[in-house]
């Protein structure tokens, strides 16, 4: 039963709905938070509660499954991704938005088997936006099939990126340099505060690309499958293959656009890996 992907998908959807209720109920209230790794990397009680709910629920149904979660990793414990079925979980992606009541955060969860993404769900419960994907079966937004825009031309592309959670001067310099070049060459830039939802917007076709250096495996694992199943590409910002534990991602509506963006980006490397 532990490798029955239909069952896994069914069960995770139920748990995500439960967890979503918790998040949306609390979105408008004031939140206490702690800084996870200095800077502006935040964690709230809700992040911890939601991760517990998901891990407890899934491990009782699938006892052999492993977990890599944001809150689990918050105390510096690093997990290696193995071939075992592994759920990669961000209980609240967009914690900064959540803390402020800005209604744009989500649960992001993906199941990898043999290191290959099989199931992905990204859910923004404030606006009931649910993105789902299964390997080889397409990706969906509230049940409607998704397709990327197919845009190839950077001059016509709407790009999403983030300032990130680090205030390191050198890192910010690279971020700002990249915003500047994209402001000069792309059609437009958006900064929305949730890496997982950023990727889902590329899958939807309402944005054409998204890149970030400094995010984590749990911010991108679900988005990766959702973008690719919508016909998009996901790679490392250098143009090399994606490495989910490397803290770097570039997702786009076409290979041409991805490589054009990659060529223009100032790369930033000193990011401690997730494994
Ligand atoms: C963060 C958000 C943010 C992105 C960071 C992520 P979190 O996730 O997705 O938009 O810039 O890199 O770590 O901490 O809110 O789960």
pTM attached to this predicted model: 0.97
The structural domains of the chain, with segments of one domain joined by +, span 5-142, 154-264
Ligand 1: which atom is nearest the Cα of residue 105? 15
| 118: phi then psi, degrees, rounded to nearest 5 | -115, -40
Residue appearing with tokens 């998009």? 232
Q: Among residues 104, 67, 106, which one has the least CA distance to residue 85? A: 67
Residues 228, 138 contacting (CB under 8 angstroms): no
Q: Among residues 155, 202, 203, 205, which one has the least CA distance to residue 181? A: 155
Is 5-142's fold the same as 154-264's? no
Predicted local distance difference test score (pLDDT) of residue 1: 77
Cα(156) to centroid(ligand 1), Å: 26
Ligand 1: which atom is nearest the Cα of residue 42? 14
Of the chain, the end-to-end C-alpha distance in Å amounts to 28
Ligand 1: which atom is nearest the Cα of residue 162? 11
Question: What does CATH list as the number for 5-142?
Answer: 3.30.540.10
Mutation choice for ligand 1 from 41, 48, 69, 194, CB with most ligand atoms inside 8 A: 194
Predicted local distance difference test score (pLDDT) of residue 148: 98
Cβ of 195 less than 6 Å from ligand 1: yes
Residue appearing with tokens 């970030």? 212
Question: What does CATH list as the number for 154-264?
Answer: 3.40.190.80
Which contiguous run of DSSP H or E holds residue 12? Answer: helix 5-26
Nearest protein Cα to ligand 1, atom 7: 93
DSSP string, 135-178: TTS-EEETTEEP-------GGG-EEE----S---HHHHHHHHHH
Residue appearing with tokens 């990659």? 262
| 184: phi then psi, degrees, rounded to nearest 5 | -80, -35
Predicted local distance difference test score (pLDDT) of residue 38: 63
**What averages of pLDDT result for each successive group of 10 residues across the chain (275 residues)?**
94 98 90 75 89 97 95 79 97 95 97 98 98 98 98 98 95 98 98 98 98 98 99 98 98 98 96 93
Residues 27, 126 contacting (CB under 8 angstroms): yes
Fill in the DSSP letter of residue 156. Answer: G
Cβ of 85 less than 6 Å from ligand 1: no
Predicted local distance difference test score (pLDDT) of residue 30: 76
How far is it, in rounded angstroms, from Cα 73 to Cα 99?
A: 20
How far is it, in rounded angstroms, from Cα 205 to Cα 198?
A: 11
How far is it, in rounded angstroms, from Cα 165 to Cα 214?
A: 8
């Amino acid at each position: 039963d532990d490798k029955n992907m239909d069952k896994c998908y069914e069960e995770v959807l139920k748990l995500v709905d439960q967890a979503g209720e918790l998040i949306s109920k609390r979105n408008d209230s004031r939140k206490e938070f702690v800084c996870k790794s200095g800077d502006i990397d935040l964690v709230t009680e809700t992040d911890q509660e939601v991760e517990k709910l998901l891990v407890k629920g899934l491990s009782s149904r699938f006892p052999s499954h492993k977990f890599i979660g944001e809150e689990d990793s918050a105390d510096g414990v690093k997990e290696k991704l193995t071939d075992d079925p592994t759920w990669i979980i961000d209980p609240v992606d967009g914690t900064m938005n959540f803390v402020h009541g800005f209604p744009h955060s989500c649960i992001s969860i993906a199941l990898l088997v043999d290191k290959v993404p099989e199931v992905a769900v990204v859910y923004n419960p404030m606006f009931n936006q649910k993105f789902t994907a299964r390997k080889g079966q397409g990706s969906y937004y509230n049940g409607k099939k998704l397709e990327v825009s197919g845009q190839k031309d950077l001059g016509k592309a709407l790009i999403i990126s983030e300032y990130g959670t680090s205030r390191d001067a050198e890192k910010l310099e690279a971020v700002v340099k990249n915003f500047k070049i994209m402001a000069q060459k792309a059609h437009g830039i958006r900064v929305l505060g949730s890496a997982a939802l950023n990727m889902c917007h590329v899958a939807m076709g309402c944005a054409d690309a998204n890149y970030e250096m400094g995010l984590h495996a749990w911010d991108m694992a679900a988005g990766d499958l959702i973008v690719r199943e919508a016909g998009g590409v996901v790679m490392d910002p250098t143009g090399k293959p994606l490495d989910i534990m490397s803290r770097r991602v570039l997702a786009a509506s076409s290979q041409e656009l991805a490589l054009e963006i990659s060529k223009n980006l100032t790369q930033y490397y000193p990011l401690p890996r997730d494994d």
